[in-house]
Amino acid sequence: MNEKVEYWVKIPIGPIHPALEEPEKFIITLDGERIINVDVKLGYNLRGVEWIGLRRNYIHILYLAERMCGICSFSHNHTYARAVEEMAGIEVPERAEYIRVIVGELERIHSHLLNLGVVAHSIGYDTVLHLSWLAREKVMDILEFIGGNRVNYSINMIGGVRRDITEKHRRAILDMIYYYRQEVMPKIEEIFLYDPTVEARLRDSTVIPKRIAIEYSAQGPTARGSGITKDVRYNEKLGVYPDLGVKPVTPKEFTGVIKGDVFDRMVVRVGELWQSMEIIERALDQMPEGKIKAFPKDNMIIFKLKKAEGEGIGRYEAPRGELIHYVRAEPGRDGPAKWKMREPTFPNLFAVARALVGEQLADVPVAIASIDPCLSCTDRVAVIDANTGKKKVLTEVDLLKESIKKTKEINPNIKAKPERVGGVGL
């Protein structure tokens, strides 16, 4: 009697793997080459930033939030600042709102160019990787020109911004936009919209239907690639965005169809590159004169926030999707009693994991790259006591003891026991 026997194989990908740009782990269950289940494992990149923030004042957290992610550093401290401003009832000067828009869209351009290169690299098209990353240098130079840094620009302040945009900045930004329109975008469109090789590899790969995108609360280009017309800048009428013509970008505007595959997610990013340049131009034209801070000195902010009560929620459409920061104040504290954030990568990871079921193993790298995951801001870890089932907060001494224990397990011949490490005595 001939019986069909199914052999299922589990293959771990990550947390460190050449196909992954971030430390994440996927346990792939395969039937031959076909994926039948994807188990997502996170927690390899936790830095305890929220916990650290509760031991800092409101101004210090601005810099901490900015370092949550190197790609969208502006998005984090902008969203945090909006949460604090809502909580304390602080009104931001109109000119500062326009500057926030300009810097935010510059960051979106550099983030999307980076991701287009990463996706191209994942399918072996390294020529496009070098093209898009070379073009990205132009916007990075502009961000450095405005803020003084290539990565953490230190633009935002509670109640406004630290840096103004001068006429020199304006001319440099317009020159950059002209360069992109003439030299870069025609090539990017030719490759990601019309190249038959790219379309053959990306079209119908890892489809996230609209129903699944809604069920998993997908965000950003991942959601819009599935036909969900959701964009915080548009739906929530954020800041001065309603005056600048922002609207959700979907693949239908460019290809006439929406499939929710990797190809569509790339089409959305190409469309948003065009839109960001238009928004920046309008913002430069419409930006009024005036002050850029609600408070001339930082100590005035601390004095006001010490008296603050209640809570605030900041929302912003970061390059990867909706970013949320929550703060809660208690009178007399220099900093928040609670600071919590929700990043777009978390729901997007599980949406793409669901979409990978039924796909081929070779589709995993490009599928993950298509959502542009960022784990430095997404990772969460809860330490549970196995005996009591309760959550446990580990101190620096606890972590030091655990690391010594693990080292001795790896090499039992180690005899030395450090008395003090990093200023902590055992």
Annotated binding site for Mg(2+): 50, 341
Rounded Cα–Cα distance for residues 185 and 231 (Å): 23
Specify whether the backbone of 43 is left (phi greater than 0), alpha (psi in -120 to 50) or beta.
Answer: left
Rounded Cα–Cα distance for residues 50 and 2 (Å): 59
| Secondary structure class of 231 (helix, strand, coil) | coil
The half-sphere exposure of 244 on its side-chain side, counting CA atoms within 13 A, is: 29
Residue 282 tokens read as 């309008």
Query: Which residues belong to the annotated binding site for Ni(2+)?
Result: 69, 72, 374
Query: Which residues belong to the annotated binding site for Fe cation?
Result: 72, 377
Q: Calculate the CA dihedral of residues 268, 273, 279, 283 and round it to 10 degrees.
A: 150
* φ, ψ (nearest 5 deg) of residue 222: -65, -45
Rg, Å, the chain Cα set: 23
Nearest to 269, CA basis, from 175, 185, 210, 211: 185
Rounded Cα–Cα distance for residues 295 and 23 (Å): 40
Nearest to 22, CA basis, from 416, 284, 356, 371: 371
| Secondary structure class of 340 (helix, strand, coil) | strand
Alpha carbon of 44 to those of 16, 88, 344, 377: distances in Å?
A: 10, 35, 18, 11
What percent of the chain is helix, strand and coil (3-state, nearest 5)?
Answer: 50, 15, 40
Q: Tell me which DSSP letter residue 422 carries.
A: T
Rounded Cα–Cα distance for residues 7 and 25 (Å): 22
* φ, ψ (nearest 5 deg) of residue 392: -130, 135
Query: Which residues belong to the annotated binding site?
Result: 50, 69, 72, 341, 374, 377
Nearest to 127, CA basis, from 195, 72, 179: 195
What DSSP line would sit under 44-69, residue for residue? Answer: SS---HHHHHTTS-HHHHHHHHHTT-
Which residue is associated with the tokens 């000067």?
93
Q: Tell me which DSSP letter residue 379 carries.
A: -
